Amino acid sequence: MLKKILIRFSTYTTILTIVFTFNACQKPPEFSNIPSISLLNITKIYKETDERKGDFVTLNINFKDGDGDLGINDSESLLPPYTVDSIQTEYFYNLLVTMYYKSNNQWKIVNFGSNNGLSGQFTRLQESDLKSPIKGTISYDFVIDNQAQNTLGFKKNDSIKFDIEIRDRALNKSNIITTNPLILTLK
């Protein structure tokens, strides 16, 4: 009886060793060094807080990047190419959002003027400078304030949509994704 148990244990150990060895030898996934994104989902809810009143939007974006150079930390954002002579450059934001609203059955870009609109920065997704493939999800929140409708052209019950892209530290831009239209709830 003991001999059968030892043989079974030895067989299981051999099988487990083969499985672990196979998994350890697998290559990491190969992604392009140019980031790639897809839209997981977008949500919108109207809220009134002490600071803001408007449509609170959350974008959840799946990403893949071959060398993992996504995100900027606070100290990097103060250096070229992101900031030059204390002035933010076109590269300062690494999550780029363009907003559109529908007027007379045509989509029009919302012009935020000198304000950078809804674009923002996301922090480094891996702290090491070691180049390795990464994938995951970025969640990005912003508010379309009630007051914005007075100056930016859109209004309550208008259809809106967004184009989104990201940029890595090598300044490579991802593909552009477009959300499905949403209806503004503004009051």
Q: Is the pLDDT of residue 116 over 90?
A: no
The residues that bridge with 108 in the sheet, in sequence order, are 101
pTM tops 0.85: no
CATH number at residue 59: 2.60.40
Tell me if 105 is assigned to some domain: yes
**Domain ranges, residue 48:** 29-183
Tell me if 139 is assigned to some domain: yes
Tell me if 16 is assigned to some domain: no
Q: Is 126 left (phi over 0), alpha (psi -120 to 50) or beta?
A: beta
Element (H, E) at 107: strand 106-109
The tokens describing 124, both together, are: 């480094």
Tell me if 87 is assigned to some domain: yes
Question: Which residue is listed with tokens 């009134």?
Answer: 48
pLDDT for 3-22, tens place per residue?
444 444 444 444 444 444 44
pLDDT value, residue 77: 96
Looking from the CA of 103 toward its CB, the CA atoms found within 13 Å total: 10
Tell me if 20 is assigned to some domain: no
Tell me if 79 is assigned to some domain: yes
pLDDT value, residue 29: 74
Q: How many domains does one find in the chain?
A: 1
Question: Which residue is listed with tokens 């300044």?
Answer: 171
How would residue 24 be classed by pLDDT, with cut points 50, 70 and 90?
low
Tell me if 6 is assigned to some domain: no
